[in-house]
Each structure stands twice: as C-alpha cells, then as structure tokens.
Amino acid sequence: MRRRALQRLATDEAGHAAPVLSGLGATIGAILLAAGAASGEDVIIIVGGIALGLGILLNVVLGHQQVDYDIFSRLDRLEGKDSEGGD
C-alpha cells in the first residue's frame, strides 16, 4: 500500500515528489553547514555547503523538468505545434 502511494506521488501530475526529495537534500546540507560552523569543523562546513548548493540546484532543475516541461508540452499540443518547436 505504501509503495503504491509513493508511486502515485512520484507520477502524480502535480510533480512535487522529486523537488521535495532534492529539497530534503538541501535541508540536510543546511543543517550540516550550520553544525560545522558551530563546531568549527572545516570538513563538515565544506560538505554541508556542497550538499546545500547541489540540493538547491537539483530542486530548481527537477522542478522545471517535472512541472514546467509537462505544462509547456500540453500548451504546445493545444496550440497545434509539432514536437520540434515549429509552427
């Protein structure tokens, strides 16, 4: 039952599953960054900063790919454009 619910969430038209997972990565990176800064550990600061940056970047890319791409492809179909972007 959980597997079916996760599959439905991942393939739902809203497309929020992938950006949420990358947002979770960014959150973990922010926590590591703050913990490293508080403890003065350079390695934790670097790892946290990289995880935060990648999480934010993935969030934007996956959000665009999963949500915006579907919206624009539907709009193109409604307007009668072909798949190569021509009229």
Per-residue pLDDT of the chain (87 residues; tens, 9 = 90+): 788 877 776 666 565 666 777 788 889 999 999 999 999 989 999 999 999 999 888 888 877 777 777 777 788 888 887 655 554
Q: Report if residue 60 sits inside a domain.
A: yes
Distances (CA, A) of 66 to 22, 41, 85: 13, 37, 19
Q: Report if residue 84 sits inside a domain.
A: no
Q: Report if residue 31 sits inside a domain.
A: yes
Structural domain count, the chain: 1
Estimate to the nearest angstrom the gap between the alpha carbon of 8 and the chain centroid. Answer: 17
Q: Closest by alpha carbon to 60, among 18, 14, 27?
A: 18
Q: Report if residue 50 sits inside a domain.
A: yes
Structural domain boundaries, residue 40 = 16-75
pTM > 0.75: no
